[in-house]
Structure 1
Amino acid sequence: MAYRAVLQRIAGALPSLIGVVIVTFLLSRALPGDPAAYFAGPAANAASVQQVRESLGLDKSWPEQFWRYLSDLSHGSLGHSLTTGQSVVADLVQRLPASMELTFCALIFAIIVAVPLGVLAAARPDSIVDHLCRALVTMGAAFPTFFVALLFVYVFYYVLGWAPQPVGRLDEIYYTFPSEVTGFLLIDTLIAGDFAAFRGALAQLILPTVSLGLFALAPIARMTRAAMLAALGSDFVRTARANGLAAGTVLFTYAFRNALLAVVNTLGMVFSFLLGSNVLIEQVFGWPGVGSYAVSAVIASDYASVQGFVLLMAVAYVLLNLVVDLVAGLIDPRVRFGG
Structure 2
Amino acid sequence: MNFVWKRLLATLPSLAGVVVLTFLLSHALPGDPAAYFAGPAADANSIAEIREKLGLDRPLVEQFFYYVADLLRGNLGKSLTTGQPVLTDLVDRLPASLELSAYALVFAIGCAIPMGVLAAIRLDRPADHACRVIVTVCAAFPTFFIGLLLVYVFYFLLGWAPEPLGRLNEILYTAPPRVTGAYTIDALIAGDGEVFRAALAQLVLPAISLGLFALAPLARITRAAMLESLSSDFVRTAHASGLPTSKVLFTYAFRNSLLPISSVLGMVFSFLLGSNVLIEQVFGWQGVGAYAVSAVLASDYAAVQGFVLMMALLYILLNLLVDVLATLIDPRVRFEG
Size of the aligned set, in residue pairs, is 337
Out of 83, 86, 90, the position equivalent to 2:84 is 86
Distance of 1:318 and 1:186 partners within structure 2: 27
Aligned-pair CA distance for 1:214 = 0.2
Deviates more, 1:202-211 or 1:122-131: 122-131
Out of 6, 12, 20, the position equivalent to 1:14 is 12
Query: Which SS does the other structure have where 1:84 is aligned?
Result: coil
Q: What pairs with 1:147-162 in structure 2 (closer than 5 Å)?
A: 147-162=145-160
Aligned-pair CA distance for 1:4 = 1.1
Query: Which SS does the other structure have where 1:32 is aligned?
Result: coil
Q: Look up the match of 1:317.
A: 315
Q: What pairs with 1:134-283 in structure 2 (closer than 5 Å)?
A: 134-283=132-281
Distance of 1:299 and 1:138 partners within structure 2: 33
Q: What pairs with 1:60-139 in structure 2 (closer than 5 Å)?
A: 60-139=58-137
Distance of 2:273 and 2:8 partners within structure 1: 20
Aligned-pair CA distance for 1:88 = 0.6
Aligned-pair CA distance for 1:166 = 0.5
Percent identity, aligned pairs only? Answer: 68
Q: Look up the match of 1:46.
A: 44
- Cα deviation, 1:29-55, whole Å, max 9, x if unaligned, reads 000011111111111110011111111
Q: Look up the match of 2:330.
A: 332
Question: TM-score scaled to structure 2, two decimals?
Answer: 0.99
Distance of 2:29 and 2:124 partners within structure 1: 50
Aligned-pair CA distance for 1:120 = 1.1
Aligned-pair CA distance for 1:188 = 0.6
Distance of 1:191 and 1:316 partners within structure 2: 26
Distance of 2:134 and 2:288 partners within structure 1: 29
Question: Structure 2: any 5+ residue segments left out of the alignment?
Answer: none
Amino acid at match of 1:305: A
Distance of 1:317 and 1:324 partners within structure 2: 11
Distance of 1:161 and 1:322 partners within structure 2: 43
Q: Look up the match of 1:300.
A: 298
Distance of 1:37 and 1:87 partners within structure 2: 20
1:23 matches 2:21: yes
Distance of 2:59 and 2:134 partners within structure 1: 52
Amino acid at match of 1:44: A
Distance of 2:192 and 2:331 partners within structure 1: 44
Query: Which SS does the other structure have where 1:278 is aligned?
Result: helix
Q: Look up the match of 1:57.
A: 55
Amino acid at match of 2:282: V
Aligned-pair CA distance for 1:128 = 2.6
Distance of 2:153 and 2:47 partners within structure 1: 47
Amino acid at match of 1:114: A
Aligned-pair CA distance for 1:81 = 0.6
Aligned-pair CA distance for 1:172 = 0.5
Distance of 1:6 and 1:85 partners within structure 2: 38
Aligned-pair CA distance for 1:134 = 0.5
Amino acid at match of 2:133: A
Question: TM-score scaled to structure 1, two decimals?
Answer: 0.98
Deviation above 3 Å: which 4+ runs of structure 1?
none
Question: Structure 1: any 5+ residue segments left out of the alignment?
Answer: none
Amino acid at match of 1:212: L
Distance of 1:228 and 1:146 partners within structure 2: 32
Query: Which SS does the other structure have where 1:163 is aligned?
Result: coil
Amino acid at match of 2:24: L
Amino acid at match of 2:217: P
Query: Which SS does the other structure have where 1:81 is aligned?
Result: coil
- Cα deviation, 1:277-322, whole Å, max 9, x if unaligned, reads 1100000000000000000000000000000000001000100000
Distance of 1:112 and 1:127 partners within structure 2: 22
Aligned-pair CA distance for 1:127 = 2.4
Amino acid at match of 1:66: F
- Cα deviation, 1:192-224, whole Å, max 9, x if unaligned, reads 121111111011000000000001101000100
Distance of 1:99 and 1:69 partners within structure 2: 26
Aligned-pair CA distance for 1:136 = 1.4
Aligned-pair CA distance for 1:191 = 1.3
Aligned-pair CA distance for 1:133 = 1.0
Aligned-pair CA distance for 1:323 = 0.4
Amino acid at match of 2:255: R
Distance of 1:218 and 1:136 partners within structure 2: 8
Query: Which SS does the other structure have where 2:321 is aligned?
Result: helix
